[in-house]
Amino acid sequence: MSIFIRLRKANIPWLQHFLILASALSILSETRIFLLLYAVLTFHLDTEALLAALQNPREPPLIPHPYLPFLGHVVGMFWHGAKYFAFISASTQHPIFTLQTLNKRTIVVIDPTLATAIQKKSPNLTFYGMILEVTRRLVDFDYPTMEIIKWNLDGEHGTHEGLMHESEKMVSGSLEPGPNLNSLSTTQLEQFTTLLNAFVPSGEAKGVEIGLMQFVKQIFTTANANTIYGPSNPFAVHPHLMHSFWDYEAGMIALMADIFPSITSWKSWRARKAMNNALQEFIEKEHYRQASPLIQKRVAINLKHGISPKMAGRSELILLFGILGNAVPTTFWLLANIFARPELLAAIRAETSKAIHANETVNVISVSVLKAHCPLLLSTYRETLRHIANLSSVRLVTGTHEINAPGHPPFLLEKGNMIQIASGVIHAAPSTWGSDAADFKPERWMAATRHAKSSDGNVNDKKTALPLPNSVPSAAFRAFGGGSVLCPGRHFAMTEILGFVALCVNMFDVADVQGGVLKLPEKDDGRIPLTVMKPAIDPQVMVRRREAAEDVQWRLEL
Ligand code: HEM
C-alpha cells in the first residue's frame, strides 16, 4: 500500500486540519494566532495516528492513543495494570500490536502462536537486558555492582562466563529434578510438618483466627527461610523482619518507579533498608555457610566476581522475592478456591486420602503419591494459576529481525522495541480455552482414560492430570514464563504448594470467622503485576483442627 493511501486511510481528519490551517493563514491578528494554536494542537492529537500511517506495514500495527499521544498508553498501563492490554486487545482484535510509550515502543503479543515464535532463545532478543535496571532499582544495587553483573552478558568479551550466567546456571541446576532438589523439598516438607502441627496444637478445638494470606505468608516465610537460608537466616535472627519483607514486597512498584522512593514509598523503602542490613549481616557473619548448598554457592559466586558483602546481601533480597513472591499468593488462592467450594473440598479430601498412610501415632501424606494419583488436586492447582497469573513475559529487541508463525504474516521487530507477551489476556482467551474460559473449572486439566474391563465386566474410566488441556498450545499457559525464560523454581513450587495444601485440607477446617463457608475475595487485578495477582482484601478465617481428628499428628514426606 502506498504511503499516500495509508495516510488517507489513517484515522486523521485531514480536511478539518487543512481548513483550520488555511483559515488561520488567511485571517489577521489575534484570531490568526488562536487558529494557528488550535491547528497545531488538534494536529498534535493525531500524531500517533500519523505515526501509525507512516510505520513500516510489516511491523505490528501501532494503536494510536485517542487523545494523549506518547503518554496516553503509559498512563493507561499504570492506571489499569495488566488489564489495559485486555482493553486494547478487545477493541482492536489484533494478535500483536504496538503501543507508543513515551519515546519507545512496546509490542504486545496476544496470540500464543506468535508467543511461541518470540519466546525462543534468539541473538536478537534479550531478557536480562530488560530486567537488570529493574533489579537495580528494586534492591538498590550500586553502580560498580551493576558493572560486574552486566559484564559479558551478551558474550561481548568472548567465552569467559560472566557472573549473571554463572549464577543463573547454578540456580537452575540446583532446582532441577534430582537429588539436590529432593533434599531441599524434603527439608521444606519437614518445616511445614513442624509449623502446621504447632499452628493449631493437637487437641485444640478452639482454633486460630487469622487472615488467610497472613497465615500463608507466616508459614511460607519461616519454612523457606529455614530450608533455603539455614538456621541463622535473617528472619530467625530478627523475627520482626517478617513484616519488613512483606512491607517491602507491597511497595515494589513504587520502588521500581524510583521517583524519590524514600518519600513516595517510605514504608517499603524503610523495610528494604532493614532487610538489606540484615542480609549484609548474614553475609558478613558468614551465616550463609549453614544455608542450603544453593545459597552457599550463590554467595561464593557473587564474592568471587568481586561483589562486596554489602551488595551480595542485597542480591539475596531479589532471590527471596523469587522464592516467596509467587508461591505465597498462589498457595493462598489454591486454599481459597478449595475451601470456598464445599463440593470440591469433599472431592479433594476423598482423592488425597489415597496419599495418606497412617502408623500408630501419625498420618503421613506422600507428595509423590499426590502428584501421581491426585489429578483433581493437580488440575485445581493449574486452573488456579491460569486465573491469577497475569505477569507479562518481557524481552528487549536487540537486533531488527522478522518472526514467522503459522497462520500469520511475517512481523518485523525493530531494534529497541520492548516486547510484552500478555499472559493475562492469553489465559482468558475463549479462542484458546473455550467459551467457558472465564469460569473456574477445577477439572479443566484432567482427562478420562478408558481402562480395561474390571472383574464385574464394566469398563472403568480412570482420570489423569494433564500438563495442558487438549488442543491448548504450550505457550498459552504462561504462569512460569515460557521459551528461553522459565521459572527455575517451578518444580520446588509444585511440591511445596501441593504438600502444604493437602496437609491443610486434611488437617484443618478453614471457615469464615462467622462460621460460614469462606467467601472468595476479589482479585486485585488493577495493578502492574510483578507476581501473580493477590486478593483485594485478606479474608479473616478461623483455622480449626478437623472435628473428631483434633489429636491426630500429621507429617509430609516426599
Ligand atoms: C507458583 C509459584 C511460582 C510462580 C508462578 C513463578 C513464576 C515465575 C515467573 C513467571 C518467572 C519469570 C519468567 C519471566 O519473566 O519470563 C519466574 C522467575 C524466577 N523464579 Fe519463579 N515462580 C514461582 C515460584 C518460584 C520458587 C518457589 C522459586 C525458588 C525456589 C522461584 C525462583 C525463580 C527465579 C530464581 C526466577 C528468575 C529466573 C531468571 O532470572 O532466569 N520461583 N518465576
Q: Is 392 in the pocket of ligand 1 (CB under 6 A)?
A: no
* Domain containing residue 153: CATH number: 1.10.630.10
**Mean pLDDT, rounded, of the chain:** 91
Number of domains in the chain: 2
Q: How confident is the model at residue 51 (pLDDT cuts 50, 70, 90)?
A: confident
pLDDT tens string 231-250 = 999 999 999 999 999 999 99
Same domain membership, residue 281 and residue 154: yes
What is the structure's pLDDT at 213?
Answer: 98
Q: Ligand 1 pocket check: which of 390, 487, 491, 533 to mutate, most ligand atoms within 8 Å of Cβ?
A: 487
**Considering 54, 70, 89, which residue would you say is the last residue of a domain?**
54
pLDDT tens string 277-286 = 999 999 999 9
Q: In Å, how far from its chain's centre is CA 43?
A: 40
- Going from the C-alpha of 314 to that of each of 141, 293, 347, 473, the distances in angstroms are 7, 19, 44, 38
What is the structure's pLDDT at 142?
Answer: 95
Which residue, by CA, sits nearest to atom 42 of ligand 1? 489
What is the structure's pLDDT at 496?
Answer: 98
Q: Is 492 in the pocket of ligand 1 (CB under 6 A)?
A: yes
Query: Within a domain: residue 506?
Result: yes
Question: How far is ligand 1, taken at its centre, from the CA of residue 239, in Å?
Answer: 25
Same domain membership, residue 148 and residue 38: no
Check the annotation: does 504 bind a ligand.
Answer: no
Q: Is 168 in the pocket of ligand 1 (CB under 6 A)?
A: yes
Write the single-letter amino acid at 158: G
**Considering 39, 54, 69, which residue would you say is the last residue of a domain?**
54
pLDDT tens string 9-39 = 777 777 777 777 777 666 656 666 766 777 6
pLDDT tens string 282-317 = 999 999 999 999 999 999 999 999 999 999 999 999
Q: Residue 557 pairs with which residues in a beta bridge?
A: 366
Question: How far is ligand 1, taken at its centre, from the CA of residue 490, in Å?
Answer: 7
What is the structure's pLDDT at 29?
Answer: 63
Question: How far is ligand 1, taken at its centre, from the CA of residue 354, in Å?
Answer: 30
Question: How far is ligand 1, taken at its centre, from the CA of residue 557, in Å?
Answer: 24
Average pLDDT estimate for 170-194: 97
Q: How confident is the model at residue 8 (pLDDT cuts 50, 70, 90)?
A: confident
Query: Within a domain: residue 443?
Result: no
What is the structure's pLDDT at 57?
Answer: 92
What is the structure's pLDDT at 240?
Answer: 96
Question: How far is ligand 1, taken at its centre, from the CA of residue 324, in Å?
Answer: 9
Q: Is 327 in the pocket of ligand 1 (CB under 6 A)?
A: yes
Q: Is 199 in the pocket of ligand 1 (CB under 6 A)?
A: no
Instruction: Give which of 327, 362, 321 is closest to 498, Cα–Cα.
Output: 327
Q: How far apart are CA 398 and CA 123, in angstroms?
A: 8
Pick the atom of ligand 1 nearest to 485's CA: 16
Instruction: Give φ, ψ of 541 to 5 degrees.
Output: -130, 165
pLDDT tens string 465-510 = 999 998 899 999 999 999 989 999 999 999 999 999 999 999 999 9
Q: Is 481 in the pocket of ligand 1 (CB under 6 A)?
A: yes
What is the structure's pLDDT at 108?
Answer: 96
Query: Within a domain: residue 493?
Result: yes
Same domain membership, residue 4 and residue 145: no
Q: How confident is the model at residue 392 (pLDDT cuts 50, 70, 90)?
A: very high
Query: Within a domain: residue 410?
Result: no
Same domain membership, residue 160 and residue 47: no
Domain extent at residue 46: 1-54
What is the structure's pLDDT at 156?
Answer: 76
Query: Within a domain: residue 299?
Result: yes
Higher model confidence: residue 437 or residue 36?
A: 437
Query: Within a domain: residue 94?
Result: no
> ipTM of the predicted structure?
0.98
Question: How far is ligand 1, taken at its centre, from the CA of residue 362, in Å?
Answer: 34
**Are the C-beta atoms of residues 184 and 491 closer than 8 Å to each other?**
no
Query: Within a domain: residue 429?
Result: no
Q: Residue 172 pairs with which residues in a beta bridge?
A: none
What is the structure's pLDDT at 454?
Answer: 65
- The three state secondary structure string of 30-42 is HHHHHHHHHHHHH
Question: How far is ligand 1, taken at its centre, from the CA of residue 170, in Å?
Answer: 15
Give the whole-number percent of the chain exceeding pLDDT 90: 74
What is the structure's pLDDT at 28?
Answer: 59
pLDDT tens string 97-146 = 999 998 899 999 999 999 999 999 888 998 887 889 899 999 999 999 99
Same domain membership, residue 348 and residue 215: yes
Q: Is 324 in the pocket of ligand 1 (CB under 6 A)?
A: no
What is the structure's pLDDT at 46?
Answer: 81
What is the structure's pLDDT at 478?
Answer: 97
What is the structure's pLDDT at 452?
Answer: 62
Does residue 420 have a pLDDT over 90? yes
Place of cell 496516553: 72
Same domain membership, residue 146 and residue 34: no
Collect all residues with Cβ–Cβ distance below 8 Å to 249 and sequence separation of at least 6. Answer: 268, 321, 324, 325
Q: Is 375 in the pocket of ligand 1 (CB under 6 A)?
A: no
Q: Is 489 in the pocket of ligand 1 (CB under 6 A)?
A: yes
**Considering 27, 54, 81, which residue would you say is the last residue of a domain?**
54
Question: How far is ligand 1, taken at its centre, from the CA of residue 214, in Å?
Answer: 21
Instruction: Give φ, ψ of 526 to 5 degrees.
Output: -100, 15
Same domain membership, residue 179 and residue 302: yes
Q: Is 532 in the pocket of ligand 1 (CB under 6 A)?
A: yes
Give the whole-number percent of the chain exceeding pLDDT 70: 95
Query: Within a domain: residue 112?
Result: no
Q: Is 164 in the pocket of ligand 1 (CB under 6 A)?
A: no
